[in-house]
Amino acid sequence: SKRVGILTAGGDSPGLNAAIRGVGKSAQGHYGMQMIGFQGGFRGLMENRSTRLDGNILSGILTRGGTILGTSRDKPHRMLVDGIMQDMTETIVKNYHKNQLDVLICLGGGGTQKNALHLKQQGLNIITLPKTIDNDVARTDTTFGFDTALGIATEAIDRLHSTAHSHHRIIVVEIMGHRAGWLALGAGIAGGADVILLPEIPYDIDHVAEAIRQRVKHGKPFSIVAVAEGARSLEQAALIQAAEARRLNAIDKKEQKKAKKQLKSLEAHHSGIHTVQLSEQLELLTGLESRVTILGHVQRGGAPSAADRLLATRLGSACADLIAAETYGVMVASEGEHAVAVPLEEVAGRKKLVPLDHPWIISAKRVGTSLGD
Ligand code: F6P
């Protein structure tokens, strides 16, 4: 029978256990395959730390947050080993064969799709599943984890509304999403935020302040500003663009390194610094008091929503069907009600940002939400 390796990589996300269970129960129970779980992402495969996923291990995990396998952001080709950053691809390939795997299932977001393609190019049989609260993986309608995070962020906005209202304050709430605005836009619309700022639309601070002043004028002296962690002002966007140009035109390695460092600090997104600055600017420009709430990793924790359990189970069982058919080198994507196999080459390295003409953007504008443009 087939030997199936499985690992979870990158940031954790609600629905990972549901997906492990979906793949595992279908592969073992339905197809009689053997499941081997590697611990702590690609590092677990590199260090050959594994567990047989048999017996009752896959029972009772459907509703649990996190991942029973553990995860890490380690990449096969860039791993800190003995204090030195090393390319561990060879060891990983060796361990794949040592475990006599027929296929390796990698559950992860954008970074994992790239790493999976890298391993495919080394001749390994790979299948991936798209998980991330950011919803930014190409070629799939959605990723598991997104719906749960959307619910958490929406509830947070609901709760911030009543306190902002009572105190006549601005509350700036920072929402995750990496460089994409899906989570902030979705939760902002569902939670009725007054302003939503996205990485895809650099904002003009004067326009944001004006939207808040207009609300005051209309008897609403409080505002909720939902800001994606990757959102940028027009000025910041211009600086990033200039640093990017400097990096591309750098004449030597030293200059390139300098530009890269600058770019990294400008793009620093999960520090909350931009959000605090934005709040201070809005206080000055509107005369209202402003507070900051950074939702952070709360958005990734806890039990998955029903929609995420369903999606993860659907994609997981479809993954077992693909293993049985020996369809490798693909991501199991969601397309409407169906699961489809998309070649990793069409997914890796392609971030799915919110298109500017997306229906959510149009609806947000129609109901009078300022997007800061
Ligand atoms: O990709 C998921 C995500 O939560 C992003 O929204 C966020 O930018 C990042 O991970 C945070 O990473 P870490 O868990 O390493 O702090």
Tell whether ligand 1 has an atom less than 6 A from the beta carbon of residue 14. no
Cβ–Cβ under 8 Å, residues 177 and 345 = no
Three-state secondary structure call for residue 156: helix
- Catalytic positions: 134
Structure tokens, 261:
């460092």
Ligand 1 atom at shortest distance from the alpha carbon of 109: 1
Please state, in angstroms and as integers, the Cα–Cα distance from residue 110 to each residue in 254, 267, 319, 346, following that order.
29, 18, 18, 12
Tell whether ligand 1 has an atom less than 6 A from the beta carbon of residue 191. no
Tell whether ligand 1 has an atom less than 6 A from the beta carbon of residue 202. no
Tell whether ligand 1 has an atom less than 6 A from the beta carbon of residue 97. no
Ligand 1 atom at shortest distance from the alpha carbon of 297: 4
Cα of 49 vs centre of ligand 1, distance in Å, is 25
Cα of 160 vs centre of ligand 1, distance in Å, is 23
Conformation bin of residue 352: beta by default, left when phi > 0, alpha when psi is -120 to 50: beta
Ligand 1 atom at shortest distance from the alpha carbon of 183: 6
Per-residue pLDDT for the chain (373 aa), expressed as one digit of tens each? 999 999 999 999 999 999 999 999 999 999 999 999 999 999 999 999 999 998 899 999 999 999 999 999 999 999 999 999 999 999 999 999 999 999 999 999 999 999 999 999 999 999 999 999 999 999 999 999 999 999 999 999 999 999 999 999 999 999 999 999 999 999 999 999 999 999 999 999 999 999 999 999 999 999 999 999 999 999 999 999 998 899 899 989 998 888 888 888 887 655 688 999 999 999 999 999 999 999 999 999 999 999 999 999 999 999 999 999 999 999 999 999 999 999 999 999 999 999 999 999 999 999 999 999 9
Half-sphere exposure of 86 (CA within 13 A, CB side): 12
Cα of 214 vs centre of ligand 1, distance in Å, is 35
Q: Cβ neighbours of residue 58 under 8 Å, at least 6 residues apart? A: 20, 21, 24, 25, 28
Atom 2, ligand 1: which residue's CA is nearest?
11
Tell whether ligand 1 has an atom less than 6 A from the beta carbon of residue 270. yes
Question: What is the bridge-based pairing of β-strands 79-81 and 84-86?
Answer: antiparallel
Cα of 22 vs centre of ligand 1, distance in Å, is 24
Which of 112, 178, 352 best tests ligand 1's pocket when mutated (most atoms within 8 Å of CB)? Answer: 178
Q: What is this structure's pTM?
A: 0.96
For the residues of 5-70, what is the DSSP string, one character each?
Answer: EEEE-SS--TTHHHHHHHHHHIIIIIT--EEEEESSTHHHHHTT-EEE--TTTTTT-TT-SS-TT-
Tell whether ligand 1 has an atom less than 6 A from the beta carbon of residue 12. no
**pLDDT of 301:** 96
